[in-house]
Amino acid sequence: MASNELGSANANAAAAAVPELSVVVPIFNEGAVLPELLQRLAAALATTAPDYELVLVDDGSVDESPAILLGAAERDSRLRVLRFSRNFGHQAAVTAGIEHARGRAVVVIDADLQDPPEVIPELVAAWRQGYEVVSAVRTERPGESALRLLLIRTFYRVLKRIASVDMTPDAGDFRLLDRRVADALNRLPERNRYVRGLVRWLGFRHVEVRYKRAERFAGETKYPYAKLVRLALDGVTAFSNLPLQLVTWMGFAVFGLSLLLVVYGLLGRLFGGQTPAGWTSVFVAVAFLSGVQLVALGILGAYVSRIFEEVKGRPLYVIAFDSARARAPRP
């Protein structure tokens, strides 16, 4: 078995030496940002961890990103480009990057320079002090709409209250993972990848580094509200069963209410003489109950659809191109 592993490792030219640091970047239509990003990453890493690799995950971009990435990878062998066969989403790209990273520590950073590469040395310093998970926590997020910020802030605080693990509010995926944490993360079988939650679920020695989030360097956000809501629902359903318990409590509350109404109705019939006409009460009860039932069904559906995703067992992403394989000599 060992000789097989060695054999396949030898066949893969990219697996030669293990870099100290891997930097994973999910990329979706970031052509306007990439040249600046690559330059600032190289500058920030040059002094801190010159022995690094960049794992650039192209999540099915349809702009000039693939061409820029290819050109850069041809000039610098420390760059590895993985291209998905289509857009699989931010969390899938982050997962793929961490799975392919080989460094003794792995940093995940957004491409749009909202997470400044200049913070990476601070993350690395904390890692060298012995911390295994170093989360970069945003103290400010300029350039985003007030409504968006309010929703995001509220979401993080609600999730922290109801989640079964200790979530870090206001931390995205800008984070350093020790090799042991990355390996443990890669072994988690679930398809619902709310990566920032999974990392905290794993445990290990954790520390926060605070930073001011910058404005997006160029281009539009790749997270429209619909995607944001899906991410939020993934986070809630993966780390809390509270919505399901809520359905049960709603059921009890409605049941209690209906008992009162039964008693009221019976008393009225027995002692009141004439029964009330009752159209309004019937209408209100029917409307209220159908509302409650639909909400309950929706909550159940959110969990069932995620069970369905897990059971199907499809891969999280499909890689159409890997610069490490393209570089390796054909057998």
Q: What residues make contact with ligand UDP under the rule CB under 6 A?
A: 26-28, 30, 59, 87, 89-90, 93, 110-112, 114, 221-223
Restricting to residues 158-177, which ones interact with Mg ion according to CB under 5 A? none
Q: By 3-state DSSP, what share of the chain in percent is helix, strand and coil, each rounded to 5? A: 55, 15, 30
- DSSP, residue by residue, 269-283: HHHSSSPP--HHHHH
Classified as helix, coil or strand, 235 is helix
Nearest approach, Cβ of 213 to Mg ion (angstroms)? Answer: 9
Taking the C-alpha atoms of residue 13 and residue 16, their distance in angstroms, rounded to an integer, is 6
222 binds, among Mg ion, ligand UDP, none (CB under 5 to 8 A by kind): ligand UDP
- 275, 269 contact by CB (below 8 A): yes
Q: Is 29 in the site for Mg ion (CB under 5 A)?
A: no
28 binds, among ligand UDP, Mg ion, none (CB under 5 to 8 A by kind): ligand UDP
For helices 90-100 and 195-202, the axis angle rounded to 10 degrees is 50
Question: Which of residues 24 and 238 has its CB atom nearest to ligand UDP in the complex?
Answer: 24
Question: Which of residues 131 and 174 has its CB atom nearest to ligand UDP in the complex?
Answer: 174
- 195, 157 contact by CB (below 8 A): no
Question: Which of residues 194 and 201 has its CB atom nearest to Mg ion in the complex?
Answer: 194
Nearest approach, Cβ of 86 to ligand UDP (angstroms)? Answer: 10
Nearest approach, Cβ of 98 to ligand UDP (angstroms)? Answer: 13
Question: Which of residues 59 and 112 has its CB atom nearest to Mg ion in the complex?
Answer: 112
234 binds, among Mg ion, ligand UDP, none (CB under 5 to 8 A by kind): none
Classified as helix, coil or strand, 106 is strand
Q: Is 58 in the site for Mg ion (CB under 5 A)?
A: no
| The two three-digit tokens of residue 107, written as one number | 């940093």
Restricting to residues 278-307, which ones interact with Mg ion according to CB under 5 A? none
Q: Is 132 in the site for Mg ion (CB under 5 A)?
A: no
Nearest approach, Cβ of 30 to ligand UDP (angstroms)? Answer: 5
End-to-end Cα, the chain, rounded Å: 21
**Paired residues of 282 in beta bridges:** none
User: What is the dihedral angle through the alpha carbons of 20, 173, 98, 70, rounded to the nearest 10 degrees?
Assistant: -90
Vertex 48 angle, CA 42 and 54, to 5° = 40
Question: Which of residues 224 and 273 has its CB atom nearest to ligand UDP in the complex?
Answer: 224
DSSP label at residue 49: -
**H or E, element range at 267:** helix 242-271
Nearest approach, Cβ of 210 to Mg ion (angstroms)? Answer: 18
108 binds, among Mg ion, ligand UDP, none (CB under 5 to 8 A by kind): none
Question: Which of residues 148 and 191 has its CB atom nearest to Mg ion in the complex?
Answer: 148
223 binds, among ligand UDP, Mg ion, none (CB under 5 to 8 A by kind): ligand UDP
Nearest approach, Cβ of 221 to Mg ion (angstroms)? Answer: 6
58 binds, among ligand UDP, Mg ion, none (CB under 5 to 8 A by kind): none
Restricting to residues 89-128, which ones interact with Mg ion according to CB under 5 A? 112, 114
Question: Which of residues 26 and 103 has its CB atom nearest to ligand UDP in the complex?
Answer: 26
Closest CA to 32 of 218, 215, 255, 239: 218
Query: Could you give phi then psi for residue 270, rounded to 5 degrees?
Result: -75, -40
Any idea which residue has 């990057």 for tokens?
97
| The two three-digit tokens of residue 100, written as one number | 């392919």
163 binds, among Mg ion, ligand UDP, none (CB under 5 to 8 A by kind): none
**Plot region of 170 (φ>0 → left; ψ -120 to 50 → alpha; else → beta):** left
Question: Which of residues 185 and 195 has its CB atom nearest to ligand UDP in the complex?
Answer: 195
Q: List residues binding Mg ion (CB under 5 A).
A: 112, 114
